[in-house]
């Protein structure tokens, strides 16, 4: 049952906006890269370009989100949560933040090594400079594998996160999920 504390312990509007905007952008990036796999070369290049630009946007917004979170700590966990649930939630959140930084950075390193330091176009608006790396296909290949491995971990973690949210909403009925759906007091 939802407690008085859980009704008031909600994330701020800014934290909620960051959460849902980044969720949509991350899911969009998976759709873009999966769509590019079987596309004709020109369409593939366009979709991968959007994927890279979107990845840089995810990196930028994640840095802002971390700064916001440091300045505005999240609400306390529900009293009804078991110690292992709180510990797991903290680990999952940490790993999410790590992945939202690491995946775009590894992608940026991969693209820079593949192209010899050429930049990443940002939706046709400007170019984000590449990292100063010599062109090296072997290095690019290693970072491509790491990028895909981390992305797979992101999908697994996403599934765990959604399953936990649904468990709290429909099994425990403890108000945990509502904290990220609305900032209304």
pLDDT given for residue 183 in this prediction: 56
Average pLDDT over residues 147-162: 97
Quick one: pLDDT band at residue 17, thresholds 50, 70, 90?
Answer: very high
- Residues 110-141 have pLDDT tens digits of 999 999 989 999 999 999 999 999 999 999 99
> What is the percentage of the chain residues whose pLDDT exceeds 90?
77
pLDDT exceeds 70 at position 6: no
pLDDT(177) > 90: no
Give the contacts of 119 (CB within 8 A, at least 6 positions apart): 127, 128, 129, 130
Is it the case that residue 174 has pLDDT exceeding 90? no
């930049």: which residue's tokens? 119
pLDDT tens digits, residue range 86-100? 999 999 999 999 999
**C-alpha closest to that of 154 among 68, 76, 81, 62:** 62
Statement: the pTM of the whole predicted model exceeds 0.85: yes
48-83 pLDDT tens trace: 999 999 999 999 999 999 999 999 999 888 888 899
pLDDT the model gives residue 4? 42
Distance CA 74, CA 68 (A): 10
Beta bridge partners of 121: 127
Cα dihedral 136, 131, 158, 164 in deg (nearest 10): 130
Report all structural domains of the chain as residue ranges with CATH numbers, in order of start: 4-180 (1.20.950.20)
């Amino acid at each position: 049952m939802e407690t008085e504390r859980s009704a008031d312990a909600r994330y701020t509007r800014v934290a909620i906006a960051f959460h849902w905007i980044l969720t949509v952008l991350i899911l969009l990036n998976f759709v873009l890269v999966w769509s590019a796999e079987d596309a004709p070369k020109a369409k593939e290049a366009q979709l991968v370009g959007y994927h890279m630009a979107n990845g840089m946007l995810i990196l930028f917004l994640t840095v802002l989100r971390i700064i916001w979170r440091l300045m505005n700590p999240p609400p306390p966990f529900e009293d009804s949560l078991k110690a292992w649930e709180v510990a797991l939630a903290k680990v999952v959140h940490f790993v999410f933040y790590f992945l939202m930084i690491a995946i775009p950075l590894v992608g940026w390193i991969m693209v820079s090594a593949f192209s010899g330091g050429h930049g990443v176009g940002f939706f046709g608006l400007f170019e984000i400079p590449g990292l100063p790396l010599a062109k090296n296909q072997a290095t690019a290949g290693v970072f491509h594998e790491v990028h895909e491995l981390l992305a797979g971990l992101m999908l697994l973690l996403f599934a765990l996160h959604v399953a936990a949210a649904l468990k709290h909403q429909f099994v425990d009925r403890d108000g945990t999920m509502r904290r990220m759906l609305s900032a209304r007091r």
